[in-house]
Amino acid sequence: MLPNYTTNKFTDARQRLINHHTNDDQAAAILTNIWAYNNNKNKQCWAARLAEETQAAEEAKSNHSFITSSVIKDKAIVIKSKDLTWEQLTEAAICMLEAMKDQEWLDDHIKMHITFWSAL
């Protein structure tokens, strides 16, 4: 939205432009022109960026590549629940509670899980 450079809010900015050849109204017009120029440049940059991002997304969609399953498989060792140590179980419970808080679970529900884990 184009600022109104004739208001008191921009008095200091206008004063910096006033001289023997430029009055208050002309200073406001200069500020308006500068703002419009910069705004148009920003719009052009934004449009160019969106075009680049759109093109990159389209290229990513069209570039199919085959990757061997050994490369994409998770390398983490999966431990069966029955083989977890108490320390690992405690770490998992803490991670789960943090995830619940991050996902904005109700406090009562989180407290129920804490009570459950504490009872073990």
Across residues 28-44, what is the average pLDDT?
A: 90
Average pLDDT over residues 89-110: 85
CA atoms within a 13 Å half-sphere pointing along the CA-CB vector of 14: 18
Which one-letter DSSP state was computed for residue 104? Answer: T
Average pLDDT over residues 63-85: 69
Q: Which of 34, 26, 24, 25 is nearest to 3 (CA)?
A: 34
Contact assessment for residue 113 and residue 100, using Cβ atoms and an 8 Å cutoff: yes
Domain boundaries, given as residue ranges, for the chain = 1-65, 77-119
CA distances from 82 to 9, 29, 57, 85, 86 (A): 69, 76, 44, 9, 11
pTM over cut 0.85: no
pLDDT score for 12: 93
